[in-house]
Amino acid sequence: MKTNTRMLFQIALRNVERHRKRTLITAIVLTVGIAVYIMFQSMLAGMDRITIDAAIDYDNSSVSIRSKEYEAHAATQPLEYGLQDPKSIAASLPGILPAGSSWTMRTRFYAQVSNWIDETAALAVVVEPGADSGVFKTAGEVKEGSWGGAGEAVLGSDLANDLRVKVGDSIVISASLPDGTLNAIDLVVGGIADLPLSSLSQQAIYMTWRDAERLVGAPLPVTEIDIRLPAVAKLDSIIANADAVATKIEASDSGIAAVSIGKAMGDYLAMRNMKSKFAYILVVIVLLISSVGIFNTILMSMYSRIREIGVLAAYGLEPKQIQHLFSLEGIMIGVIGSVGGLILGAIFVWWLTAYGISFSGMFGNLDLGSLPKYLTLKGEWNAATFAQGFFFGVLVSWFASLMPARKASRIEVTEALRFV
């Protein structure tokens, strides 16, 4: 019997339609599994995006230029290892950075802050209020008071709560100088910033350049030049662009270290890869469950159609063609389930990107590390995830159908025709 793929496809399609109930149940399992995989990957990508965005917006910037000595001792925020010629470095940036970039100078050092009764450790961040607002979003989080006044300090909200101070109260800031002496100044709480990063909200105190020089002496060293690169849509592009710019900056001056957001958040991004592997494990488990259903559906279909197999074989259908027929049925079930998974997954991702899941206030004062305190988890569209989901679904369905298909192709004509 001469036949072609088109005819086998038509027979397979008829058989899939004929066993609608079993096909539907199996396809639904596959649909749910692929949709969960797509949604999970979208949520992970969204979590990564808001984490990196928060780091860029409030702490690390896209690229931070530091001296190599400072970078080697960054954990202690040492004042003695500032940039040698920050103005010259800043003047060279327009020729290196892409159009639309902005930068600002900052100095960080550890200090002690007191409300005249209690004292706690703090991270002093010295800013140029105007330029800083073009790179960081800290100024926009000042909910009480104002940003960047002379003789005033802006405190993170958790730090202000710990010290029980409010706008207008007087505080004392003390710090150890590079020569080992201790100095202190008094400032007024000019503003309280409700910062999304717990580490900054609990420790950060922002002050102007002039006040910092009163505290640690003039001229105040610049410990970093922070750069914001133009926004791009994809997280991988954000990291790649920052890495490329950091490489160009270091190539232009061998005495400096340019720390990209990818390097600054290296530990978190390593965890990101582990989370992605977990997502693959999840989808493999779901697809394995689906494959059992597909295997069972094709196997039951084979047993219920032994007469039909015998008739087809009697008319000259070769064993390989019979095997191909049943494999096509498995692939069709996989396509139906996979398409359903893409549609359901797209609905989930649309809802996540449009509305998200808000966790604001759920964690209280719990330190979430790199995650923002007021977490609204949104998803991200990723065409590769949809393609992977569809490919996995069809591939698993094909594999699940191989054994029943092979068994069907081995049925002897005489044995099959006994059921006629």
Domain spans of the chain? 5-54+269-417, 61-263
Within 10 angstroms of residue 198's Cβ, the number of other Cβ atoms is 20
Q: Show the CA angle centred on residue 332, arms to residues 328 and 337, nearest 5°.
A: 150
The tokens for 62 are 């896209």
Q: Residues 110, 174: contact at Cβ < 8 Å? A: no
Beta-carbon contacts of 375 under 8 Å, excluding residues fewer than 6 positions away, are 50, 358, 359, 360, 363, 368
Residue 63 β-bridge partners: 227, 260
Beta-carbon contacts of 97 under 8 Å, excluding residues fewer than 6 positions away, are 103, 227, 229, 245
Backbone dihedral angles phi then psi of residue 188, each to the nearest 5 degrees: -100, 140
Q: Residues 143, 157: contact at Cβ < 8 Å? A: yes
Backbone dihedral angles phi then psi of residue 417, each to the nearest 5 degrees: -75, -15
> What average pLDDT score do residues 54-69 get?
91
The tokens for 134 are 């073009």
What average pLDDT does the structure give for the chain? 82
Beta-carbon contacts of 399 under 8 Å, excluding residues fewer than 6 positions away, are 291
Q: Where is pLDDT greater, at 275 or 216?
A: 216
Region of poorest pLDDT, from 265-279, 287-301, 382-396: 287-301
The tokens for 208 are 């102007």
Place of tokens 């490329």: 244
The tokens for 395 are 């591939």
pLDDT exceeding 90 applies to what percent of the chain?
Answer: 35
pLDDT in tens, 337-351: 889 999 999 999 999
> What average pLDDT score do residues 106-122 get?
92
pLDDT at 228: 96
Instruction: For residue 345, give the nearest of 402, 400, 283 by alpha carbon.
Output: 283
pLDDT at 98: 93
* pLDDT range class, residue 354, cuts 50, 70, 90: confident
Would you say residue 418 has pLDDT above 60?
no
* pLDDT range class, residue 394, cuts 50, 70, 90: confident
Gyration radius (Cα) of the chain, Å? 32
Place of tokens 């036949």: 3
Taking the alpha carbons of 53, 55, 59, 62 in that order, is the dihedral positive or negative?
A: negative
